C-alpha cells in the first residue's frame, strides 16, 4: 500500500522531504519489463497510444484535442530558458526566454519545424500574442528558479521528460520531471504543476515515478518522487519502493484498459 507524504511547499519542508528520501535503491530488471510489456500487449490498441499522469488521474477519460497556447508552451520554454540561464549566468531570465523563442522561430524559417509543432505555431503569432507567450514562460522560469535556488543539495533541470516505449504494444509512457536532485548515492525527482492537487494526484505522481524508473538505462528508481503545486503551497512525495512501482504499473495498465473500453463504447 502506498503512503503519500503531504507537506507544505516551504523551503525547509522541501529540503527535509528531499534529504529524508529512503536509502534503499530499487531496480527494475528485464523480467519486470517483460511482465509489464505482456500486460500492455494484452490490451488491444486501435492506434498508437500515449499514457501519462494526466490520463491516470482521469482514469483514461478521453482528452480534449491538443492545441498550442501560452499555457501549453510555458513549461517547455521556461525549462529550456532556465537551462540556458545556468549555462550563462550573465543571461537574464527574460533574455533567455527571448533566445529560446528566437531559436524556435529560426527552426521554422529554416524549414525544420513540422506543421503542428510549437515552432510553426509561434511563427504564426502576432507580436502581441508572442508577448503573452513570453509572459507565461517567464513566470514559469522564475518560479522554477526560485524553487531550485532553495534546494540545498546539487540539482539540475531535467533535459526532457521520461519516455518509455513498450515493444509490440503500440504504447508510449510519458513521465513528467522538471528537476533532479543528486544525493551521494541516489536521486530525487521533482515535478512542478499548476493549480492544486486533486484526489487522484497521488496515483498520477506514482505513475511518473514508475515511468522514470523504466526509462532509466539500468532501471534504477528515484529514491523519491516529489510533486509541487506552488500556487497552492503544497507538495506531495512518493517513495521509490518496489510496492509503489508495482502499484504505478498497475495504474498505467488500468488506464490503458479504461481507454480501450471507452473507445469500444464510442464505436458501439
- Binned at pLDDT 50, 70 and 90, residue 268 comes out as low
Alpha carbons 258 and 266: distance in angstroms, whole number = 12
- 83-99 residue pLDDT tens: 999 999 889 999 999 99
pLDDT tens for 142-195 read 999 999 999 999 999 999 999 999 989 999 999 999 999 999 899 999 999 999
Do residues 192 and 154 lie in contact, with contact meaning Cβ atoms separated by under 8 Å?
no
Domains along the chain?
Answer: 5-62+152-267 (3.90.320), 70-149 (no CATH)
CA dist 147 to 12, 28, 136, 196, Å?
11, 30, 17, 17
Contact (Cβ atoms closer than 8 angstroms) between residue 80 and residue 35: no
Measured in whole angstroms, how far is the alpha carbon of residue 206 from the centre of its chain?
A: 12
Per-residue pLDDT tens digits for 116-134: 899 999 999 999 999 999 9
Kindly state the DSSP code that residue 183 receives in the 8-state scheme.
Answer: -
Dist CA 158 CA 177 (whole Å): 7
Give the per-residue pLDDT at 81.
96
- 15-74 per-position pLDDT tens digit: 999 999 999 999 999 999 999 999 999 999 888 999 999 999 998 777 677 899 999 999
Residue-wise pLDDT for 225-263, tens only, equals 999 999 999 999 999 999 999 999 999 999 999 988 887
Amino acid at each position: 500500500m502506498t503512503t503519500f507524504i503531504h507537506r507544505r511547499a516551504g523551503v525547509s519542508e522541501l529540503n527535509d522531504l528531499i534529504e529524508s528520501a529512503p536509502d534503499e535503491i530499487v531496480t527494475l530488471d528485464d523480467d519486470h519489463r517483460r511482465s509489464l510489456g505482456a500486460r500492455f500487449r494484452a490490451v488491444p490498441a486501435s492506434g498508437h497510444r500515449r499514457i501519462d499522469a494526466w490520463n491516470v488521474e482521469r482514469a483514461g477519460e478521453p482528452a480534449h484535442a491538443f492545441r498550442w497556447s501560452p499555457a501549453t508552451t510555458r513549461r517547455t520554454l521556461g525549462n529550456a530558458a532556465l537551462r540556458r540561464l545556468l549555462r550563462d549566468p550573465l543571461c537574464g531570465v527574460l533574455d533567455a526566454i527571448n533566445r529560446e523563442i528566437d531559436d524556435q522561430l529560426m527552426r521554422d524559417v529554416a524549414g525544420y519545424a513540422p506543421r503542428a509543432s510549437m515552432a510553426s505555431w509561434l511563427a504564426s503569432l502576432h507580436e502581441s500574442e508572442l508577448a503573452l507567450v513570453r509572459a507565461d514562460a517567464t513566470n514559469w522560469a522564475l518560479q522554477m528558479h526560485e524553487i531550485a535556488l532553495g534546494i540545498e543539495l546539487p540539482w539540475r533541470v531535467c533535459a526532457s521528460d521520461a519516455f518509455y516505449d513498450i515493444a509490440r504494444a503500440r504504447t508510449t509512457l510519458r513521465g513528467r520531471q522538471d528537476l533532479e536532485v543528486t544525493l551521494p548515492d541516489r536521486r530525487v525527482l521533482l515535478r512542478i504543476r499548476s493549480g492544486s492537487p486533486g484526489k487522484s494526484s497521488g496515483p498520477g505522481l506514482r505513475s511518473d515515478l514508475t515511468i522514470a524508473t523504466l526509462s532509466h538505462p539500468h532501471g534504477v528508481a528515484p529514491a523519491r518522487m516529489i510533486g509541487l503545486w506552488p500556487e497552492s503551497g503544497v507538495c506531495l512525495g512518493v517513495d521509490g519502493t518496489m510496492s509503489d512501482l508495482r502499484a504505478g504499473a498497475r495504474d498505467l495498465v488500468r488506464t490503458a484498459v479504461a481507454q480501450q473500453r471507452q473507445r469500444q463504447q464510442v464505436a458501439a
